[in-house]
Amino acid sequence: MSSVNRRAFVAYLLVCVVWGSTFLGIRVAVESLPPFLMAGVRFLSAGSILAVIVWWRGLPWPDGVRGVAHVALCGVLLFLLGNGLVVWSLQFVPSGITSVYVVSVSIWAAVLDAVVPGGTARISRRIAAGLAMGILGSLLLVGATPAELLHADWRGPVALLIGSAGWALGTVLMKRRPSPASPFANATIQMIAGGLALTAAGLLLGESTRVALQTRGVVAFTYLVFVGSLVGFGSYAYALHHMSATALGTYAYVNPVVAVLLGRLFLGEPISRRMLAAMALMIGGAILVQFGDRLARSAAANARVPEQA
């Protein structure tokens, strides 16, 4: 394994563990801090700190206005839609269950990689089956019977599904137009653009009147800025620069395990059989998507190899 591959793998592991822990941090933070403003200030703070580091180290920035605009657009998708809706949903959904929904990021990434122009992926039967398993797992988390589904609070689940699709779309678009900049410079622009969009959304929703500083919330917010954002997203940006979007999307398999265990340990969140069954369905679907994607790519590569006489 080359040194670049080793660093990318370490970055990938950090994403798996750190982002698994952020569900607990967000759940605690939104007890006293409004969701969109909290997330916006979080990413503006982390992006500003990272900008100083990028400037101090003299790392390259994206090329021209169009390059910056593309990275910023991806940042808005990643943070306003992706992270923002996840944070908002944690007002209604436990952290462990939220993390299970986010497993669908890897499924959405494979589907969008096939339908967004500019890629080579195709929707195979395995990907379709994986998507169906993910949808069934999502429904099972909401309720096991038609009556439960009918009377369930759909605000969190719907927000989580849209947020997962938004994060996947930002990831796929980022791979469509690779930036020659340092991955940390890209992360800086994405966090600042996403942070501005989140802050604007919070102000428009009147969240400025709902800020109530408490020790637990401030500690959780600080953790989210320095560990969840700087370490987590910096690692994600570096890994994305050196790995495929589909391969990197497998971090979502590990996040729920970390989140469920931490939610149980620190918040006493229940772990039910239905939750475990839904997790098995969604993770199984995501793994099927990854396996199907690899088979499709391998078959396409073999088809391009000329036969020897």
Alpha-helical runs (H) found in 77-103: 84-89, 95-101
- The CA distance from 248 to 109, in Å, is 10
Which residues in the chain show pLDDT less than 70? 1-4, 144-146, 149-150, 245-246, 249, 290-309
- The CA distance from 248 to 114, in Å, is 16
What is the tally of helices (H) and strands (E) in the chain?
15, 0
Question: Please, what sign has the CA dihedral across residues 129, 134, 138, 144?
Answer: positive
Q: Whose CA is closest to 109, among 262, 269, 306, 285?
A: 285
Question: Does a structural domain hold residue 267?
Answer: yes
**249 close to 61: Cβ distance less than 8 angstroms:** no
- The CA distance from 35 to 193, in Å, is 17
pLDDT for 303 equals 44
Question: Does a structural domain hold residue 75?
Answer: yes
Question: Does a structural domain hold residue 309?
Answer: no
Token pair for 183: 């991955």
Residue appearing with tokens 């605000």: 155
pLDDT for 304 equals 45
Question: Does a structural domain hold residue 308?
Answer: no
pLDDT for 202 equals 96
pLDDT for 308 equals 39
Question: Does a structural domain hold residue 128?
Answer: yes
- The CA distance from 251 to 12, in Å, is 7
With DSSP H G I counted as helix, E B as strand and the rest as coil, what are the percentages for the chain, rounded to 5?
80, 0, 20
**99 close to 259: Cβ distance less than 8 angstroms:** yes
Angle at 234 between CA 229 and CA 238, to 5 degrees: 155
Longest CA–CA span in the chain (Å) reads 76
pLDDT for 295 equals 53
3-class DSSP state for residue 169?
helix
269: containing domain:
3-300
- The CA distance from 119 to 169, in Å, is 13
User: Domain total for the chain?
Assistant: 1
Question: Does a structural domain hold residue 305?
Answer: no
pLDDT for 199 equals 97
pLDDT tens profile 269-289 = 888 888 888 888 888 888 787
Token pair for 217: 């919330």
